């Protein structure tokens, strides 16, 4: 594959290890004479709060102005990014359909029971159902399932 002349074998040994170029910097030694470049005032300028030992302002201090963390309204809790919003329809509202109809989410939207065409639909159990219907929806409450099946209908859950 390669001749021994072109490939130089590199063996990692402790005495050959060194950091990559420009990754190491010398420490800034302040207060060690004027010729060091950081003598006399040690890079702090002349007078003032920040030139003193222990001087400076606390984190978040904005010179007396109301700090940003107090200007913003407080947020409590969190927003669940996986939340699924359902448009709800009660069982009693389904009495408007004719007997033994297969009720789909499109039919529920078409009849005006739900306004949003893209909404996921959940059937709740308030009221009574007097006619048998085959209902297809995204979710059903426990009581809604019982009432639909008691009226002689069927429940189909969409995923």
- The per-residue pLDDT for range 40-99, each reduced to its tens digit, is 999 999 999 999 999 999 999 999 999 999 999 888 888 999 999 999 999 999 999 999
Q: Is residue 145 part of a domain?
A: yes
| 125 pLDDT more than 70 | yes
Number of domains in the chain: 1
**Among 101, 27, 132, 65, residue whose Cα is nearest residue 57:** 65
- Domain coverage including residue 118: 88-157
Does a structural domain hold residue 56? Answer: no
Instruction: Specify the residue for token string 């426990």.
Output: 142
Residue in the structure block whose two tokens are 């007078």 = 47
Q: In what order do the strands lie in the sheet with 134-137?
A: 102-103, 134-137, 154-157
* Domain of residue 97, CATH code: 3.100.10.10
Mean pLDDT of the region 100-118: 93
Domain annotation covers residue 67: no
> Residue 120: beta bridge partners?
86
123 in Cβ contact with 144 (< 8 Å): yes
Element (H, E) at 147: helix 142-150
Residue that is written with structure tokens 């003032």 in the block: 48
Nearest to 113 by CA among 130, 136, 121, 99: 121
Whether the CB-CB separation of 85 and 119 falls below 8 Å is answered with yes
β partners of residue 10: none
The answer to whether the predicted template modeling score (pTM) of the entire model surpasses 0.75 is no
Q: Read off the pLDDT band of 106 (50, 70, 90).
A: very high
- Residue linked to tokens 């048998």: 132
Closest CA to 96 of 81, 106, 83, 107: 107
61: in domain: no
Residue 150 within any structural domain of the chain:
yes
């Amino acid at each position: 594959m390669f001749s021994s002349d072109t490939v130089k074998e590199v063996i990692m040994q402790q005495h050959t290890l060194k950091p990559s170029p420009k990754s190491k910097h010398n420490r800034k030694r302040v207060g060690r004479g004027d010729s060091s470049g950081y003598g006399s005032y040690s890079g702090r300028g002349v007078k003032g709060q920040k030139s003193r030992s222990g001087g400076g302002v606390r984190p978040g201090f904005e010179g007396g102005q109301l700090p940003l963390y107090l200007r913003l309204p407080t947020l409590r809790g969190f927003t669940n990014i996986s939340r699924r919003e359902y448009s709800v329809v009660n069982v009693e509202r389904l009495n408007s359909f004719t007997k033994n109809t297969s009720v789909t989410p499109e039919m529920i939207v078409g009849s005006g029971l739900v306004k949003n065409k893209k909404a996921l639909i959940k059937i709740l159990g308030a009221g009574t159902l007097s006619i048998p219907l085959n209902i297809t929806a995204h979710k059903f409450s426990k009581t809604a399932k019982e009432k639909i099946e008691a009226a002689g209908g069927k429940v189909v859950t969409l995923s």
